[in-house]
Amino acid sequence: MTETVAATGLSAGTALSRPKVRRARIRGKWPVLVLFLPPALLLFTVFVILPMGEAAWYSFYNWNGYGLPTEWIGWKNYELIFRQGAFRNALVNNGLIILVSICIQVPLALWLATMVTKHIKGATFFRLIFFLPYVLADVAAGMIWRFVYDGEFGLVANIYHTFGLDAPFWLADKNAAFSAVLGVIVWKYFGFHMMLFIAGLQAIDKSVLEAADIDGATGWQKFRRVTLPLLGSTVRLSVFFAVVGSLQLFDMIMPLTGGGPSNSTQTLVTFLYSFGVMRMQVGFGSAVGVVLFVICVTLAFSYKRIFMKND
Amino acid sequence: MTDTAINPIDAAKAQTPGRSLRFGTKAYLYTCLIIVAALVVIPLVTTALGGFKTLGDLRGNAFGLPSTWMVSNYSDILFSQRYWLQMGNSLLIAGLTVFLTLAFAAMAAFTFAHVKFFGSQFLLNYFLIGLMFPAATAILPLFIRIRDLGLLDTYWGVVLPQVAFGLGMSILLFRNYFRSLPTELFDAAFVDGAGYLRFFWHISLPLSRPIIATVGIISFVGSWNSYILPLIMLNSESKYPWPLGIMVYRGEFSTDWQLILAFITLTILPTVIVFFAAQKHIIAGLTAGAVK
């Protein structure tokens, strides 16, 4: 083995002739293509691309999923979607998740990241604890918080009871329920964002901060003028994940509220589930899927175009 | 598209020794960190303790230690068939998903990394479309497809879509890693007369342990925690993975919170144990896809 490495080390010296040499020596390009590509290609086409195309097709039909779709109704499913109050709730809620991520989660994660990257004992331990909720399943996190928020046996109830007050049922109150859900989302995901910021902070060149030190910058000035600008790409990445995550949120809502009360905690995916899947309205559900797809692709593309073009 | 396989996020990474901090700063840091840590841990610990309580105890004393330790809450579940069945189902589904994802993604990524062929860039982009939208968008047509294939209520009905939706990210990670291996290896092997297949099997794969671990962890955790696909594809309770089982259990014992808490604790226990045992790999793995 070592001999051959040495041998090619010599031939590799003439960089220009290398591609030619390689092409001449490598045998059997076709067997590898025929063996290696089709499994992934087939699976991906059958279970990802075709269903997406079919969703677009089904979305123009009124169809319950049995037999073939025959009842063409044009854009009616789409009109129905936008006329539903629950869908507007879902859109607003998804927006709220993104807003909370930007205004609370990202600053919180960044703040914690700056603390656990300091030279203190137990920093690693705190990182692990903060990351732990992210590893738990959304369903389990939702269940745990359903207990926390429970108005009779939960932690919130116990706190109220110690003060001799009647405990509220936040998850059953349509004005409070979604705020409660937002709390769980921050609890579950801030650790992930913190890890992104830790990586970002570790990538900052220490000499820049030392230079600021020599110039007599205070801690806050260093953070505001040096660290934060250098973390720009991490902030944009973190917000990007908050946006993508918000559009997929489903598992956590189901054990917490199931989208209720009176559809006040619907997200786009729970809306798709309760109005498309539960009622077996394949046409309508597919139309919701298409709307979700368009939102995902538009947001992902425009966000990358506008904010992440230099990253 | 820099490669994170080379620079994974490492929670345990030692800090560069800075100046030692003033006492006031330290006190401030620890106070803040402990408050946040408490907010994270208290719901988890009270859940685990709540499983040992009676319902009455839970109502008046959700935070404290149980007044009588109801070990039977836990032991009844541990001796029940349903708990082990659900764990087994989850493990089987996750195992199949990981195996197929690794095999198919590594093979496809290898051709993208090393074989020059017409349309290679186009095909890679085709797979990357999968990164742009969640499985939920196409869930109804997916359900109909699985039904028409006769895979409804089988493990494969869950596994195959999971693998398919994981392929985009996995292929990307594998391809970046394969490309980062030194080219001298390829030249050497090809001069020796090895074909692509032997090269893949004897050189690429043995050198790819870190990326196999990363992709394996991402797809295992994703499958172990997944809810929406099994919810739609499986009908019989005997095939339910644990996230579905937990919901059924809650439905049955709707107000017996102590039992539900014990059940939740037991279902998340494996995750917590594995996380603390292999935290370095898990954090690096789960954040690798993020910083791709």
* Chain B touched by A64 (CB under 8 Å): no
Instruction: State the sign of the Cα–Cα–Cα–Cα dihedral A123, B216, B152, A34.
Output: positive
Question: Does A6 reside within a domain?
Answer: no
> Are residues B185 and B70 part of one domain?
no
> Are residues B198 and B141 part of one domain?
yes
Question: Does A8 reside within a domain?
Answer: no
Determine the residue among B140, B240, B257 to mutate to test chain A binding: the one whose Cβ has the most chain A Cβ atoms within 10 Å: B140
pLDDT value at residue B130: 83
Question: Does A24 reside within a domain?
Answer: yes
> Are residues A183 and A247 part of one domain?
yes
> Are residues A167 and A230 part of one domain?
yes
Determine the residue among B133, B143, B167, B254 to mutate to test chain A binding: the one whose Cβ has the most chain A Cβ atoms within 10 Å: B133
> Are residues B150 and B128 part of one domain?
yes
> Are residues B123 and B62 part of one domain?
no
Are the beta carbons of B292 and B6 closer than 8 angstroms?
Answer: no
Residue A101 identity (one-letter amino acid): S
Question: Does B30 reside within a domain?
Answer: yes
> Are residues B170 and B37 part of one domain?
no
Domain boundary at B58, B75, B92, which? B75
Which of A18, A51, A250 lies at the smallest CB-CB distance from B138?
Answer: A51
Question: Does B4 reside within a domain?
Answer: no
pLDDT, one tens digit per residue, over B181-222 is 888 888 888 887 778 888 888 888 999 999 999 999 999 999
> Are residues A127 and A49 part of one domain?
no
Question: Does A5 reside within a domain?
Answer: no
CA gap A181, A100 in Å, rounded: 11
> Are residues B151 and B189 part of one domain?
yes
pLDDT value at residue B31: 94
Question: Does B13 reside within a domain?
Answer: no
The residue length of chain B stands at: 292
CA gap A268, A245 in Å, rounded: 12
Question: Does B117 reside within a domain?
Answer: yes
pLDDT value at residue A185: 96
Count Cα neighbours of A205 within 13 Å in the Cβ-side half-sphere: 4
Scan residues 133-192 of A and list those with Cβ closer than 8 Å to B. 133-140, 143-145, 147-148, 150, 152-155, 157-158, 161, 187, 191-192
Q: Do B108 and A120 touch (CB under 8 A)?
A: no
ipTM of the complex: 0.88
Question: Does A262 reside within a domain?
Answer: yes
> Are residues A41 and A90 part of one domain?
no
> Are residues A83 and A50 part of one domain?
no
Measured in whole angstroms, the distance separating CA A250 from the mean position of its chain's CA atoms is 11
> Are residues B241 and B151 part of one domain?
yes
Scan residues 286-305 of A and list those with Cβ closer than 8 Å to B. 286, 289-290, 292-293, 296-297, 300
Locus of tokens 């195992």: B95
Question: Does A61 reside within a domain?
Answer: no
> Are residues B33 and B131 part of one domain?
no
Are the beta carbons of A264 and A89 closer than 8 angstroms?
Answer: yes
pLDDT, one tens digit per residue, over B98-115 is 999 999 999 999 999 988
Are the beta carbons of B173 and B211 closer than 8 angstroms?
Answer: yes
pLDDT value at residue B5: 39
CATH number, domain containing residue A288: 1.10.3720.10
pLDDT value at residue A21: 45
Average pLDDT over residues B265-284: 91
pLDDT of B279 > 50? The answer is yes
> Are residues A43 and A149 part of one domain?
no
> Are residues A255 and A139 part of one domain?
yes
Are the beta carbons of B204 and A39 closer than 8 angstroms?
Answer: no
Which of B18, B138, B164 lies at the smallest CB-CB distance from A43?
Answer: B164
- Shortest distance, CA A17 to any CA of chain B (angstroms): 12
Nearest to A113 by CA among A204, A194, A225, A222: A194
pLDDT in tens, chain A (311 residues): 333 333 333 333 334 444 444 444 456 778 888 889 999 999 999 999 999 999 999 999 998 888 888 888 889 999 999 998 899 999 999 999 999 999 999 999 999 999 998 888 888 999 999 999 999 999 999 999 999 999 888 899 999 988 988 888 999 998 999 999 999 999 999 999 999 999 999 888 888 888 888 888 888 888 888 888 889 888 998 998 898 889 999 999 999 998 889 999 999 999 999 998 888 889 999 999 999 999 999 988 888 888 877 66
Residue B17, number of CB atoms within 10 A of its CB: 7
What is the span of the domain harbouring residue A134? 76-306
pLDDT of B11 > 80? The answer is no
List alpha helices for B51-80, DSSP H: 55-60, 71-78
- Shortest distance, CA A175 to any CA of chain B (angstroms): 23
CA gap B121, B127 in Å, rounded: 10
| Residue A72 backbone phi and psi in degrees, to 5 | -70, 125
> Are residues A148 and A40 part of one domain?
no
CA gap A81, A283 in Å, rounded: 11
Question: Does A271 reside within a domain?
Answer: yes
Show Cβ contacts of residue B147 under 8 Å, excluding neighbours closer than 6 positions.
none
How many domains, chain A? 2
Residues of B in contact with A144 (CB under 8 A): 43-44, 47, 264
Residue A80 identity (one-letter amino acid): L
> Are residues A292 and A214 part of one domain?
yes
- Shortest distance, CA B138 to any CA of chain A (angstroms): 5
Question: Does B44 reside within a domain?
Answer: yes
What's the start-to-end Cα distance of chain A, in Å?
40
> Are residues B197 and B53 part of one domain?
no
CA gap A262, A19 in Å, rounded: 65
CA gap B262, B48 in Å, rounded: 6
Question: Does A11 reside within a domain?
Answer: no
| Residue A155 backbone phi and psi in degrees, to 5 | -65, -45
> Are residues B154 and B37 part of one domain?
no
Residue B212 identity (one-letter amino acid): I
Our CA angle for B147, A55, B230, nearest 5°, is 40
Nearest to A48 by CA among B99, B145, B107: B145
Question: Does B1 reside within a domain?
Answer: no
Beta bridge partners of residue A72, listed in sequence order: A61
Count Cα neighbours of A17 within 13 Å in the Cβ-side half-sphere: 8
pLDDT value at residue B216: 93
Predicted confidence band at B19 (pLDDT cuts at 50, 70, 90)? low
What is the span of the domain harbouring residue B45? 23-75
Nearest to A310 by CA among A190, A212, A229: A229
> Are residues A239 and A122 part of one domain?
yes
Q: DSSP assignment of A37-103, as one string? A: HHHHHHHHIIIIIHHHHHHHHHTTB---SSS----B-TTHHHHHHHH-HHHHHHHHHHHHHHHHIII
pLDDT value at residue A5: 37
Nearest to B240 by CA among A145, A51, A139: A139
Q: Do A115 and B55 touch (CB under 8 A)?
A: no
Residues of B in contact with A47 (CB under 8 A): 142, 145, 160-161, 163-165
How many domains, chain B? 2
> Are residues A213 and A245 part of one domain?
yes
Which of A21, A31, A126 lies at the smallest CB-CB distance from B37?
Answer: A126
Q: Do A124 and B11 touch (CB under 8 A)?
A: yes
Tokens coding A75? 């854009």
pTM for the whole thing?
A: 0.87
Measured in whole angstroms, the distance separating CA A129 from the mean position of its chain's CA atoms is 20
> Are residues B272 and B190 part of one domain?
yes
Question: Does B32 reside within a domain?
Answer: yes
Size of interface A-B (CB pairs under 8 A): 324
Which of B137, B232, B268 lies at the smallest CB-CB distance from A136?
Answer: B268
> Are residues A188 and A114 part of one domain?
yes
Question: Does B7 reside within a domain?
Answer: no
Calculate what percentage of chain B has a pLDDT beyond 70. 92
- Shortest distance, CA A250 to any CA of chain B (angstroms): 8
Q: DSSP assignment of chain A, as one string? A: -HHHHHHHHHHTTSGGGHHHHHHHH---HHHHHHHHHHHHHHHHIIIIIHHHHHHHHHTTB---SSS----B-TTHHHHHHHH-HHHHHHHHHHHHHHHHIIIIIHHHHHHHHHHHTSS-TTHHHHHHHHHHHHHS-HHHHHHHHHHHH-TTTSHHHHHHHHTT-PPP-GGG-TTTHHHHHHHHHHHHHHHHHHHHHHHHHHTS-HHHHHHHHHTT--HHHHIIIIIHHHTHHHHHHHHHHHHHHHHH--TTHHHHTTT-STTTT--HHHHHIIIIITTT-HHHHHHHHHHHHHHHHHHHHHHHHHTSTT-
> Are residues B160 and B35 part of one domain?
no
Domain boundary at B75, B96, B115, which? B75
Q: Chain B: residue nearest A137 by CA?
A: B225
**Mean pLDDT rounded to a whole number for chain B:** 88
Residue B80 φ/ψ region, left for φ over 0, alpha for ψ in the -120 to 50 degree band, beta for the rest: beta
